[in-house]
Amino acid sequence: MSAEQKEELLDEFLCNKPTPSNTQDKFFDSVIGFIEDIVVHPDFQHKQTNFLDKYCHEFEHCEENKLIYTPIFNEYVSMIEKHIESELVLRLPKFDMSEFMKILPARRNEVSEELFEMLLSLTDFLIFKELILDHKSYRDGKVADLSFGLTVTSFRKH
C-alpha cells in the first residue's frame, strides 16, 4: 500500500466520510496489524515489563484502591500511548490514537482478546489493575506453571 493510499484511508476512516465499508474494514485491519507488530516487538515488551516490574509492588489484591494508583495508571497510559502512536505515525503519518480508541469498542469482535485487553488497559483502570496484579503474581511465582505438561508434536508425516 502506497503512502498516498494509506493517507486516503486514514482520512476516510477518521473523518467518517461515507466510503464503502470494505475500505474502512481494510484500514482498521491494517491498523490492528500494525499495532500487533508494535506490541510483540522486543522494544515494547521491554518497556511494558520494566514498567510493570517497577510498580507492581504498589498494588494489592483488594477492592480498595490507593491514591498512588492514579498517577501510576496515568504514567502507564501516557508511556504506552506515546510508544504505540509514535510507531503508528511512522506507518500512517496522520494517525490519531485518541480517534482510533473511540471507535475500537464498537469493533471489539474484530480484535484478538489479548490485544483488545491491552488496548483497553489504556482507558479502563480496572483492566490496568488486573494487568499489573497478574504481572505481580507471575513475578512472585504465584501462577501455576503448566508448561511441564506440554508436548510438541509435528503434524507432518515423514
pLDDT in tens, 27-69: 888 899 999 999 999 999 999 999 999 999 999 999 999 999 9
The candidate with the shortest Cα–Cα distance to 52, out of 133, 110, 116, is 133
Residue 65 pLDDT: 95
Element of type H or E holding 92: none
Report how far residue 63's alpha carbon sits from residue 53's, in angstroms, rounded to the nearest whole number: 21
Exposed, middle or buried: residue 114 (CB in 10 Å: 0-12, 13-18, 19+)? exposed
More confident residue, 70 or 19: 70
The grid coordinates of residue 14 equal 477518521
Question: Would the pLDDT of 18 be above 50?
Answer: no
pLDDT band for 12, please (50, 70, 90 cuts): low
Report how far residue 156's alpha carbon sits from residue 6's, in angstroms, rounded to the nearest whole number: 40
Residue 102 pLDDT: 82
Residue 123 pLDDT: 86
**Pair 9, 23: CB distance under 8 Å:** yes
The grid coordinates of residue 18 equal 461515507
Q: What is the mean pLDDT of residues 144-152?
A: 52
What's the pLDDT tens digit per position in 98-121? 888 888 888 889 899 889 888 888
The grid coordinates of residue 44 equal 515494547
Question: Tell me, what amino acid is at 140?
Answer: D
More confident residue, 17 or 60: 60
